[in-house]
Structure 1
């Protein structure tokens, strides 16, 4: 566990920042009166997510690998951050759904069923706590692995000695 303490720290930071972002979304009205804008503006969190991965991998490079890290080491560190995020995502979604924005699902179901090709029953099947908890785990894994690969490419040491 000590070998992964940096990744665990950044996975927890990711979740905390994600909860702050959801609170921001709620304050901006994207969970109620401006719910039509939520899908657009929530994508902005992607920039924050990539930045958190960058900070995490830079921390790992500096404080664990003494400033020299190859792509594979960075990728593995990113995947460990991803696993931490995926494991904590259901708890984060529960906090979001119960405490931060308890009316989000009902608001989204109403909006989607009135403004798209999705029926109310389909929207209810998609926008609920259980379904969303499953979705956040799989999206955290998918996006986290891709983000890890890309960020590791930029954080890796440029001039590494070739080992024979």
Structure 2
């Protein structure tokens, strides 16, 4: 596990970032008053997420690989980081939708039904804690692997 201490540290930081982002969304009204804008603004999370990947892989390059890292080494580190983030994601989602904004699913279901985007049955199947925990874990893994591959292209030091 010592070989992966940097990835574990950054996965914990990423999880804390996720919780902070959710608090920010809640405080700005994206989970209730401005629920109609939630889908647009929640995607801005990609910016700090990519920045965290850059910082994590740069730290891995500097302190583990002693300043020299191939694309493959960076990519593997990105996969490992993504795996640990995916493991922590259900816990973060549970905290978000149980403590930070427990009314989120009721609010978004009401919005989707009121605006004829979904039926009640479809909305309830899609917008619930268990579904979000699963979707976000797989999303963290898949998006993380892609992000790790791209970031590794830019921070590698040898071909």
Which range, TM-score by smaller chain?
over 0.9
Moved more, 147-156 or 110-119: 110-119
TM-score, structure 2 normalization? 0.98
What number of residue pairs does the alignment pair up? 159
1:57 aligned partner? 57
Distance 2:116 2:78 in 1: 37
Per-residue deviation, 1:117: 3.1
2:103 aligned partner? 103
Per-residue deviation, 1:88: 0.4
1:21 aligned partner? 21
1:6-85 maps to which residues of 2 (within 5 A)? 6-85=6-85
Query: What's the Cα RMSD here?
Result: 0.9
1:49-96 per-residue CA deviation (whole Å, 9 max, x = no partner) reads 000000000000001001000000000111111001100000000000
Distance 2:117 2:125 in 1: 14
Per-residue deviation, 1:139: 0.6
1:112-135 per-residue CA deviation (whole Å, 9 max, x = no partner) reads 111143101100110001111110
1:128 aligned partner? 128
TM-score, structure 1 normalization? 0.95
1:100-158 per-residue CA deviation (whole Å, 9 max, x = no partner) reads 0000000000001111431011001100011111101111111011101001111111x
- Structure 1: state its 5+ residue gaps: none
Deviation >6 Å, runs of 4+: none
